[in-house]
């Protein structure tokens, strides 16, 4: 592209000028003027070229979209727990596992997935996340029969694996694609998609799947929900394959330029994990974040049962209550990201 070619040409001219100054310095016998010129050239070389691409917004929005699709599926069973109990002929605890499997899968899988993210980069992890999410949705499409609960559980398990490849990406996308003044905003946009998906997951399933006794009609409504989800997941998978890029040609920050120049032998994934686990403020952050997220997931999983036990037939209102809970936090997280970029008051 013209702009990029121009930037490359300018860079080559600068390198030629620097080499000429070095030769002049060597020819001059190392006098003060030559030394100053050489020092200036060294400083110029130390500052790597950086550039922000408009494409970065497309990357983070695409990530946010397939994160939305995946998080929607986390709660699509739990928020109409009583309806799926009736359709599949299982107890409420079995339906609760359709939500809890997301949390359980995350625990053993997060370390190998973050290792893969470090070793293979963003594009490979994004492709795996979108592919697993798409596969899980189509498995669910084939499970709309009362005797196929194990198939729908397999589909949900596949989607829970996709979630592991999704949750660790916002900060990496922000650091690889965005400038230092917009990293927190980019992270908040990535997280916003996940929260929006949960909000839609609370609201839409009770609207699409009514509590009716006719099993054929109930199967029809469930299949509509599953087909819609599969269609969206497939479209997003195609977009990830065709649009999602590993990294920009020119790094956005000096820190990212330095990271690119780091040899793989100089970096140890295990050592970095151990350093974090020995960092007391980081451990406290893990504990406090874990308590907050754990409480939210527990309430989200049990919300249908808590409401329906006291107010039978109020599936729609249970979904609206869940929506209200999520909406209350969504805009706070987005505004906090913008505020952090402006003030840097992280503590």
Burial of 309 (0-12, 13-18, 19+ CB in 10 A): exposed
**pLDDT number for residue 24:** 46
CA 192 vs CA 160, 199, 319, 324: distances in Å: 19, 10, 19, 15
- The two tokens of residue 40 are 């200036």
**pLDDT number for residue 5:** 45
DSSP state of 28: T
- Residue whose entry in the numeric block shows the structure tokens 């020119």: 250
Identify the CA nearest to 152 among candidates 72, 207, 37, 73. 73
**pLDDT number for residue 69:** 96
Q: What is the pLDDT of residues 178-236, one digit of tens each?
A: 988 888 888 888 888 999 999 999 999 999 999 999 999 999 999 999 999 999 999 99
DSSP state of 146: T
In CATH, what number does 56-247+268-343 get?
A: 1.20.1250.20
**pLDDT number for residue 267:** 66
The pLDDT of residue 155 is above 60: yes
Identify the CA nearest to 176 among candidates 244, 127, 241. 244
What does 182-243 look like in DSSP terms, one character per residue? SHHHHHHHHHHHHHHHHHHHHHHHHHHS---S-HHHHHHHHHHHHHHHHHHHHHHHHHHHHH
Q: What is the pLDDT of residues 11-44, one digit of tens each?
A: 444 444 444 444 444 444 444 444 444 444 444 4
Distance CA 212, CA 83 (A): 8
Supply the pTM of this predicted model.
0.79
Distance CA 72, CA 200 (A): 6
Q: What is the pLDDT of residues 43-72, one digit of tens each?
A: 444 577 888 888 999 999 999 999 999 999
**pLDDT number for residue 13:** 41
Distance CA 113, CA 129 (A): 10
Q: To the nearest 5 percent, what fractions of the chain are helix, strand and coil?
A: 80, 0, 20
Distance CA 21, CA 49 (A): 20
Q: What is the pLDDT of residues 294-341, one digit of tens each?
A: 998 999 999 988 898 888 888 888 999 899 888 887 777 778 777 877
Q: What is the pLDDT of residues 239-289, one digit of tens each?
A: 999 999 988 888 888 888 887 776 665 667 788 888 888 999 899 989 998
The pLDDT of residue 342 is above 90: no
**pLDDT number for residue 264:** 62
**pLDDT number for residue 15:** 44
Contact 63, 126 (CB under 8 A): yes
**pLDDT number for residue 166:** 95
Give backbone dihedrals phi and psi of 268, rounded to 5 degrees, phi first.
-120, 115
More confident residue, 103 or 333: 103
Q: Which positions ≥6 away from 157 have C-beta within 8 Å?
A: 101, 105, 136
Q: Where are the alpha helices (DSSP H) in 244-268?
A: 254-261
Contact 141, 226 (CB under 8 A): yes
Identify the CA nearest to 252 among candidates 59, 114, 18, 94. 59
**pLDDT number for residue 251:** 83
């Amino acid at each position: 592209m013209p702009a990029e070619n121009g930037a490359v040409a300018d860079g080559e001219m600068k390198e030629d000028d620097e080499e000429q100054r070095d030769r002049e310095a060597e020819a001059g016998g190392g006098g003060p003027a030559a030394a100053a010129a050489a020092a200036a050239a060294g400083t110029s070389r130390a500052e790597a070229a950086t550039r922000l691409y408009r494409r970065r917004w497309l990357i983070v929005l695409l990530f946010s979209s397939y994160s939305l699709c995946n998080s929607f599926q986390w709660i699509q069973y739990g928020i109409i727990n009583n309806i799926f109990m009736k359709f599949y002929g299982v107890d409420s605890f079995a339906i609760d596992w359709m939500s809890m499997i997301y949390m359980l899968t995350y625990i053993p899988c997060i370390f190998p997935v973050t290792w893969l993210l470090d070793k293979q980069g963003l594009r490979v992890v994004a492709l795996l996340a979108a592919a697993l999410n798409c596969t899980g949705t189509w498995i669910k499409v084939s499970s709309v029969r009362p005797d196929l609960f194990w198939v729908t559980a397999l589909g949900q398990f596949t989607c829970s694996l996709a979630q592991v490849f999704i949750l660790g990406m916002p900060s990496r996308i922000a650091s690889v694609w965005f400038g230092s003044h917009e990293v927190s905003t980019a992270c908040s946009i990535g997280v916003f998609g996940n929260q929006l998906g949960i909000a839609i997951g609370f609201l839409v399933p009770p609207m699409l799947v009514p509590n009716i006794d006719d099993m054929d009609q109930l199967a029809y409504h469930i299949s509509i929900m599953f087909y819609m989800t599969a269609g969206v997941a497939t479209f997003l998978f195609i977009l990830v394959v065709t649009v999602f890029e590993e990294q920009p040609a020119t790094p956005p920050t000096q820190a990212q330029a330095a990271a690119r120049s780091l040899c793989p032998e100089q970096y140890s994934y295990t050592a970095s994990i151990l350093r974090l686990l020995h960092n007391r403020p980081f451990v406290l952050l893990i504990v406090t974040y874990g308590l907050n997220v754990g409480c939210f997931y527990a309430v989200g999983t049990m919300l249908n049962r808590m409401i329906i036990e006291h107010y039978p037939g109020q599936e729609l209102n249970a979904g609206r209550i869940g929506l209200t809970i999520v909406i209350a936090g969504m805009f706070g997280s987005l505004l906090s990201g913008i505020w952090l970029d402006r003030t840097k008051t992280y503590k």
